[in-house]
Amino acid sequence: MTRIVAHLEQKVAELSAANDRLREVERLRTEFYRNISHELATPLTPIVGYLRMLLDEELGSLNKPQTKAMRAMDDCVRRLRSTLDNLVDVTGLETGRMRFIHREYDFLDTIRRAVAAYADAFAERQLTVLEETPRGPLPAYGDSDRLARAVGQILDNAGKFTPEGGTVGICVRVLESHYEVLVADSGPGVPPERADRVFDPFYQVDGSTTRVHGGVGVGLAIARRVARGLGGDVRVTAGATVEGSYLTGAAFWITVAQRAPTVVVDAASEGGRVIQ
């Protein structure tokens, strides 16, 4: 009996040590994301500035080939900047330090601006955009900038996975104490068994190096945490109807409180974290 107890105590000690090592690795990983994001963002700032000056011809006129080259560079820099911003947000998620700046805003106007930001990307892929919205304004209190970024993550996802010539639908609804925006598409959708995992940071349905679509797999995780920080949530279903058309792909539903809480516990995080 004594030997059994000693053996169990040894195993408990080993498991405890392994758990401590895992926590340290997790801490170092989070610290690495924070540091690498800062180190990459610092030299990127002057690149963005000088590139904008060149495009605005403040440093001299450009011919057509030069302008085309500069615009291609600007597009790449914007995508890189977006990736860095996502890494910063993921660090905030994992450390419980994602901050929200609440103020009065118009929910409908915020959604429209988010959709307008993807108009060129959708047009380039010849996607038909359906919009179903109520009459505005829709007054709300919360962080409109973070909401716009969260909706942008969903729109970016729809644009990537909808085949050329397909359809993306956006629908805004007014609920009792919340607002809801639906982003649906005619793409392949999300397999039911992976519907929850797509909101995990860095998870991708196709995570292979030969995958067709780019990205690092953090956009949907950011969208969900932002929605929860604004008193709502994000869920995904198979298919939805927008403007009388049934779209058979993924349908992401984002809800936020009309009056966002100033403090919210992120129940998805281990032990819960306070996001302010």
Residue 218 has pLDDT above 50, yes or no: yes
The partner residues of 245 in beta bridges, in order of sequence, read: 242
Residue 6 has pLDDT above 50, yes or no: yes
> Region 266-273: what's the mean pLDDT?
41
- Whole-model pTM: value is 0.71
- Give every CB contact of residue 114 below 8 A, 6+ residues apart in sequence: 147, 148, 151, 152, 155
d(CA 276, CA 274): 6
Which of 54-63, 83-92, 216-225, 264-273 shows the highest mean pLDDT?
Answer: 54-63
Cα 4 → chain centroid: 50
Q: How much is the pLDDT for 275?
A: 45
> Region 47-74: what's the mean pLDDT?
88
Q: How much is the pLDDT for 34?
A: 67
Q: How much is the pLDDT for 130?
A: 96
Distances (CA, A) of 90 to 118, 173, 199, 218: 22, 29, 12, 7
> Per the omega criterion (within 30 degrees of 0), is the bond before 134 cis?
no
Q: Which residue ranges form the domains of the chain, and what is each CATH number?
A: 2-95 (1.10.287), 103-275 (3.30.565.10)
Q: Which amino acid appears at position 131 of this protein?
A: E
Q: How much is the pLDDT for 211?
A: 43
Residue 33 has pLDDT above 60, yes or no: yes
129-180: per-residue pLDDT in tens?
999 999 979 999 999 999 999 999 999 999 999 999 999 999 999 999 999 9
| Backbone φ, ψ for residue 249 (5° rounding) | -85, -145
